[in-house]
Amino acid sequence: MTIFTSITSHGQTIHYNQFWGEVQFNRTINEKWSTELNLGTSYSSTESSPNIFEQNTQRSFRGWGHYYLTPRWKLSSFIAYFNNKDVPEIGQFESPEWRFALQGIYYFHKTGYTLSTRMRAELRHMKNEDDTYENVFRYRHQIKYLKPINSKVLRRGVVYGVASDEIFLKSGTKVTGLSFFDRNRLNVGAGYLFTDDIQLEITYANDYLPRDNGNQIVNAGSLTLTFNNLFKNISKKLHHPQPETDE
């Protein structure tokens, strides 16, 4: 996830303007199983510089396993590492994190659109300011709406709209604060499928984060680029070239 940040204070609330980006690689194993790899990096401006590339704040990777229990239920698990760097200019201290999660998504398939609900339980193993690690339990629940614009199904050349709302609940710790309610995230945006296996999604996200030292409001632009079966498709083209045709 790429994050570009500028900060402005208004009373007890800190406002952040950010950009998040992620590259996803998905691979189908069989009808029931698939894997996924996410790669991200973050950059930020500071109070002293408007340059959004002023500081590299985070690099991350996440590996998934997905199991399709039924056409409506998708069960997943991941392990991830987030290298949160020491950036005092934006109030961030070095806090490397390992994250483990179990997730379930239930799909309400409707003609012309898809509604889904996602439940995720995360165990976050994070370093605090005392250089000791704490375990943080977090639960996330999301409702998501997706609608193709120029087709009834998602396929090559289709534009779609997407909207979601998600709440985050967590255990109280020193590294993340004592509040039970972690944040609320609203997303609105659109995506485009260049091919059946390559798509781009751009959204606007609004986060509200209550914190011990002052609340935060985040307005973010998010970009996600997804490749499905990338290396398998490249291998097919290399080993099975298209036959030449006469004009």
Token pair recorded at residue 33:
């199983």
**pLDDT at residue 121 tops 70:** yes
Q: What is the mean pLDDT of residues 228-234?
A: 81
Could you tell me if 115 and 144 are in contact, meaning their C-beta atoms sit under 8 angstroms apart? Answer: yes
Torsion of CA 212, 214, 215, 219, to 10 degrees: -130
**pLDDT at residue 233 tops 80:** no
At 88 the three-state DSSP class reads: helix
**Banded pLDDT at 84 (limits 50, 70, 90):** confident
Q: What percent of the chain has pLDDT over 70?
A: 87
Question: Tell me, what's the pLDDT at 50?
Answer: 63
Question: Tell me, what's the pLDDT at 243?
Answer: 56
At 3-54, the pLDDT tens digits run 334 444 444 677 777 888 899 999 999 999 999 999 988 777 666 766 667 7
Question: Tell me, what's the pLDDT at 226?
Answer: 97
Mean pLDDT of the chain: 85
Distance CA(135)–CA(124), nearest Å, equals: 6
**pLDDT at residue 142 tops 90:** yes
Query: Which position has the higher pLDDT, 64 or 173?
Result: 64
Q: State the pairing for strand pair 181-193/133-148.
A: unpaired
Q: What percent of the chain has pLDDT over 90?
A: 53
Pure H helices in 94-240: 230-239
At 197-218, the pLDDT tens digits run 999 999 999 989 887 777 888 7
